[in-house]
Chains A and B, each alone.
Chain A
């Protein structure tokens, strides 16, 4: 792929966990936005953001889905912050085999936050009226790998499938499917 320096708006979401009230509106709207057709359904289990919530321990952490990992990590740390104990997983953005987070509940395929590409503002930010999620935009010179968003999603999905079933199998199926057409 061609690599060139390009000016690009980089979006970043500032998460202020202190402001989160645990309503999970962000989960709901994210899943609705990514439904096909758009908004036709919602299901927080499909969301690309999740709120780790344990009200009695005062734990409220919104986390965005990041990369996909084939294997879970070998060991996990515990963090004590302000007297509250967090499992490392609470902050982790990875779609990994050890938990149901950031996976399609039916297929198990990984999900990744796409910053609601195409929308003026990420939907989760828009729906978080208490301001726990705030969008920051900066212009940055970046190496443009020019992978369109859908392609990237497809790639992640395929990679996950290949991991599960083996690349050979996937190739076979694709070959079979293309014959049917």
Chain B
């Protein structure tokens, strides 16, 4: 469904079956639409930028955990394609209302919200909702429509004020990365409410239900049999550690505190453990799941003096750690941040960055006029300034990269934890990990946790443990991955950074990335698929789900090829927007010990593996092989590729050697 906000028109467009076959759905077809209709000159805040809400291909079917809404646009922060997704209940409801996507273009002159009720679609006045919190808005709209079962995706004040890391909130989930909430606010849309009571059909029901039964059985089995020898987050499925598990030793001692600066190796004492357990027990009312999923990764949280809210993902600790505070503070400030609608990864980093600049004299008392003395109060104060874009908040609202440019005076040295201008997890490690190097450098999702998974993060100390692990490792696309893992040692010749070898690293990263891209097209939660070790969904059963569910004949090769196709298309969109090899790099200080030569080799090999030239641009041959001829033609026309691909990559090499 297409909505032109400038003209106030609503159009129903049939989903293109051929595109669905080529790009699947969700992210894949979103990328195709963005390529076709948003040329590189278009600014994120132009009426010509599109904001696309898409249900994944399997959403609304009985496939457990298939709940994700994929929201795509051009990000105000990175100026590249934004890559955000949310779980919850929105995508299935959209499917039950009879739609695959909602495409927003133009800009509404007044603040509005959309009401989609099966065939009936309305653009409604939202002026009375201006300045309201995201959660508050959801409640008000449901009441106003007298529709307690409607699902509402809304923005808070941050989105309305175009904060570059504003999120879209929905029930117990949010689409946070890339600042898509700012684009929604820029378009003048406060919320989208949807209610559907239509049937969603399956192509081959009996077969599909058989597959669902297998998945449910597997989830039960995995819940009863956690994988031994790995940390809790990797031992099971979903991300239950966020809300259900008290032991935060691993995160608090391994992630960095403040503006991603300080590691506190002995933080987790018995006293802290007791205090945090008590805080969590008091605050947590109930564990929650998304639609049709048993994993209970979220929770309702109620802190004294604050309204109840639903917590998702890792915002449990991000604010706490940025402020060097405790869980009690983290849960309190996350409530306000959720109402404002801001990204739980970027926001704490930006605030800690602001304070670090202040402590180092780059921001002065003038800049911070009115700031309280108390540390925790400072964070609340900064958060309020940022979402209102008041004073220093107006600058910080652009994120650390752009804020540093505006502040000058050497501030950019403090914006040290970005990839492609986007704040990353506060992790600083010792020695380069070649697999992660590739994921950080070449990933386009701006969020490392959404690329990793499938392959263990570290070798197991003993060969017997490794042998045990590979025994029922049915998820591997090929037996060779088992061998890579079996031979991987903690020390010696077969250890990091030279093992896995460059070729193996390419292979492993490609597998990990492929699974995430497949999930993002199908609308499957990464927690049941691409993120954990040994998940119920994998490359061997996915094609069957697609065939039996959507009636598209599919096999592993065809599915992998489709994922490669739209993965390449995402890169092409970004290449057309100016991204090149020079942008493919992790934060400078991510690892203490770096291996520049090896890193260049890894990039060279990975680009070749992907069919990209040395400047990270997909070659014409690759593009044609993937039915992306139109991209190749565009690249030639723009001079991004020249007729002689080798010549162009040689020129790049010469450039690099200068």
Q: Are A21 and B287 in contact (CB under 8 A)?
A: yes
Q: Given contacts A56-B309, A58-B285, is CB(A21)–CB(B201) below 8 Å?
A: no
B200 contact set on A, CB distance < 8 A: 41-43
Tell yes or no: B135 within 8 A of A by CB: yes
* A41 CA to B198 CA, complexed, in Å: 10
A46 contact set on B, CB distance < 8 A: 199
Partner of A21 from B197, B209, B286 at Cβ < 8 Å: B286
Partner of A28 from B62, B201, B202, B289 at Cβ < 8 Å: B62
Q: Are A43 and B198 in contact (CB under 8 A)?
A: yes
A54 contact set on B, CB distance < 8 A: 148
Tell yes or no: B172 within 8 A of A by CB: yes
Q: Are A58 and B62 in contact (CB under 8 A)?
A: no
Nearest-neighbour CB distance to chain B for A17, whole angstroms, equals 10
Q: Are B293 and A105 in contact (CB under 8 A)?
A: no
Q: Are B199 and A35 in contact (CB under 8 A)?
A: yes
Partner of A129 from B60, B89, B219, B288 at Cβ < 8 Å: B219
Q: Are B197 and A43 in contact (CB under 8 A)?
A: yes
Q: Given contacts A29-B62, A32-B209, A127-B216, is CB(A41)–CB(B292) below 8 Å?
A: no
Interface string of B117-130 (1 = CB under 8 A from A): 00000000000000
A128 contact set on B, CB distance < 8 A: 294
Partner of B205 from A40, A56, A105 at Cβ < 8 Å: A40
Interface string of B283-310 (1 = CB under 8 A from A): 0011111111110100010000001111
Tell yes or no: B64 within 8 A of A by CB: yes
Nearest-neighbour CB distance to chain A for B575, whole angstroms, equals 40
Q: Given contacts A21-B286, A29-B62, A42-B61, is CB(A56)–CB(B199) below 8 Å?
A: no
Tell yes or no: B497 within 8 A of A by CB: no
* A130 CA to B295 CA, complexed, in Å: 8
For chain B, the bracket of interface size reads 35 or more
A45 contact set on B, CB distance < 8 A: 96, 196-197
Partner of A25 from B208, B223, B292 at Cβ < 8 Å: B292
Q: Are B201 and A32 in contact (CB under 8 A)?
A: no
Tell yes or no: B171 within 8 A of A by CB: yes
Partner of A56 from B201, B202, B223, B300 at Cβ < 8 Å: B300
Please count how many residues in chain A sit with their CB below 8 Å of the partner chain's CB atoms. 32
Q: Given contacts A22-B289, A25-B293, is CB(A55)–CB(B300) below 8 Å?
A: yes
Cβ-closest chain A residue relative to B294: A129
Tell yes or no: A37 within 8 A of B by CB: yes
Tell yes or no: B206 within 8 A of A by CB: yes
Cβ-closest chain B residue relative to A54: B148
* A39 CA to B200 CA, complexed, in Å: 10
Partner of B294 from A43, A60, A130 at Cβ < 8 Å: A130
* A45 CA to B95 CA, complexed, in Å: 13
Specify which of A23, A39, A54 lies most central, judged by the most chain B CB atoms within 10 Å of its CB: A23
Nearest-neighbour CB distance to chain A for B345, whole angstroms, equals 23
Tell yes or no: A3 within 8 A of B by CB: no
Q: Are B205 and A23 in contact (CB under 8 A)?
A: no
Cβ-closest chain B residue relative to A33: B209
Specify which of A57, A100, A105 lies most central, judged by the most chain B CB atoms within 10 Å of its CB: A105
A129 contact set on B, CB distance < 8 A: 216, 219-220, 223, 294
Cβ-closest chain A residue relative to B148: A54
A40 contact set on B, CB distance < 8 A: 201-202, 205
B145-163 CB contacts (< 8 Å) to partner A = 148
Tell yes or no: B139 within 8 A of A by CB: yes
B201 contact set on A, CB distance < 8 A: 40-41
Nearest-neighbour CB distance to chain A for B551, whole angstroms, equals 12
Nearest-neighbour CB distance to chain B for A169, whole angstroms, equals 27
Q: Given contacts A32-B62, A58-B285, A58-B286, is CB(A39)–CB(B293) below 8 Å?
A: no
A75-128 CB contacts (< 8 Å) to partner B = 100, 105, 126-128
A105 contact set on B, CB distance < 8 A: 197-198
A24 contact set on B, CB distance < 8 A: 89, 291-292
Q: Are A41 and B309 in contact (CB under 8 A)?
A: no
Interface string of B308-321 (1 = CB under 8 A from A): 11100000000000
Q: Are B62 and A23 in contact (CB under 8 A)?
A: no
Q: Are B209 and A56 in contact (CB under 8 A)?
A: no
Nearest-neighbour CB distance to chain A for B619, whole angstroms, equals 44
Tell yes or no: A66 within 8 A of B by CB: no
Q: Are B62 and A56 in contact (CB under 8 A)?
A: no
Tell yes or no: A44 within 8 A of B by CB: yes
* A39 CA to B206 CA, complexed, in Å: 7
* A72 CA to B25 CA, complexed, in Å: 44
Cβ-closest chain B residue relative to A60: B286
Q: Are A23 and B289 in contact (CB under 8 A)?
A: yes
A55 contact set on B, CB distance < 8 A: 171-172, 286, 288, 300, 310
Specify which of B61, B206, B219, B289 lies most central, judged by the most chain A CB atoms within 10 Å of its CB: B289
Known: A25-B293, A43-B197, A56-B310. 7 other contacts (CB 8 A): A21-B288, A24-B291, A28-B62, A43-B199, A55-B171, A130-B294, A130-B296
* A-B residue pairs, 10 tightest by C-beta: A39-B205, A129-B294, A45-B197, A41-B199, A23-B289, A21-B289, A105-B197, A43-B199, A41-B201, A25-B292
Residues of B within 8 A of A (CB): 60-62, 64, 89, 96, 135, 139, 148, 171-172, 196-202, 205-206, 208-209, 216, 219-220, 223, 285-294, 296, 300, 307-310
